[in-house]
Amino acid sequence: MSDFFSVEIVEQVGSTNDELKKCAREGAPEGLCITAIEQTAGKGRVGRVWESVAGNSLTTSCLLRPKDIPMNCIPTITLVCGMAVKKFLEREFGIISQIKWPNDIVVDGKKLCGILVEMEAISNEVNFIVSGIGLNIHQKDFSEEIAYKSTSIDLELKHMYPDESLDTIYEKCLSESCRAYFLSGISAASKLEYLSKKLWDSFKEYYDIFMKTCDMTYLREEYEDGLVNMNQSIKIEAGKDSYEAIARGINNRGALLVEVADSIQEIDSGEVSVRGIYGYV
């Protein structure tokens, strides 16, 4: 693991983002990550709740204290995080995922991972950023409300090899180092620590590139390659309003470029949700 991050495993916490924000206010150093075995009050984007199951989900947050970064660059970190998760899933599990702008990670049209980046400022300057990732690992089912659009690593691996046992699939698909943590008898804490380290290391690779320009200049092409709705019709929901458009990629700030009535508009992530015309993707 790079020296940049240090992972602390906690047994139970309301929200890893909130816990880390508390530590940040008390002066915790950049690179501190908190991973919970059980998260009881997980927060999602736009005021939603994030469901997780003790030991079966990865719920982890990391603290960033970038120097001299303009505040309007912070929402873009959410896209950087998404790219890191996508790469991590491929390296560790052999799972090829896609990104639903700005940062949901989806496989076969269902959400595997969510990302919530939060920031606190002091007199109009960024004080710290907490970047939180929730990844579904072993869940076999989800609450009625989100079941239609949710998936987990186990469900996706099983989908790839329906006739094989999960242990055989782990042997086949997981990276050599990851495999050891998915054997029975290994504690949830060591598995989650391993996954957190690998995930935040992947994030660091993309974050370093992002920090060269504080935008998506060098990441844009790869991001667009992974964009699930690229050149497809989507529905943009902003509060009670919604309208249809065609997704055409992102700009360097990470705004979604959409074509509406022959003109290109830029959509900022703020309080907007993007859906497929007929469902979640």
Could you list the residues that contact ligand BTN (CB under 6 A)? 15-17, 42-45, 48, 50, 59-61, 104, 114-116, 132-134
Structure-block tokens of residue 18: 């909130």
Residue 190, CB-side half-sphere exposure with 13 Å CA sphere = 11
Smaller CB distance to ligand BTN: residue 139 or 252? 139
Give me the least distance between CB of 78 and ligand BTN, in Å please. 9
Smaller CB distance to ligand BTN: residue 19 or 92? 19
Is there a contact between 238 and 43 (Cβ–Cβ < 8 Å)?
no
Q: Which DSSP helix (H) or strand (E) runs through 9?
A: strand 6-13
Residues paired with 12 in a beta bridge: 38
Give me the least distance between CB of 50 and ligand BTN, in Å please. 4
Give me the least distance between CB of 61 and ligand BTN, in Å please. 5
Smaller CB distance to ligand BTN: residue 146 or 246? 146
One-letter amino acid of 21? K
Residues paired with 13 in a beta bridge: 39
Decide the pairing of beta strands 233-238 and 241-250: antiparallel
Give me the least distance between CB of 45 and ligand BTN, in Å please. 4
Give me the least distance between CB of 265 and ligand BTN, in Å please. 23
Give me the least distance between CB of 132 and ligand BTN, in Å please. 3
Cα three-residue angle 266-271-277, rounded to 5 degrees? 70
Smaller CB distance to ligand BTN: residue 112 or 155? 112
* Total residues found in the chain within this entry: 281
Question: Could you give the CA distance from residue 109 to residue 149 in angstroms, rounded to a whole number?
Answer: 7
Smaller CB distance to ligand BTN: residue 134 or 245? 134
Q: Which residue of the chain is nearest ligand BTN when measured via CB? A: 114
Is there a contact between 102 and 80 (Cβ–Cβ < 8 Å)?
no
One-letter amino acid of 26? E
Smaller CB distance to ligand BTN: residue 149 or 158? 149
Smaller CB distance to ligand BTN: residue 63 or 169? 63
Residues whose CB is less than 8 angstroms from the CB of residue 280 and which lie 6 or more positions away in sequence, other chains included:
100, 106, 109, 110, 111, 148, 149
Give me the least distance between CB of 105 and ligand BTN, in Å please. 9
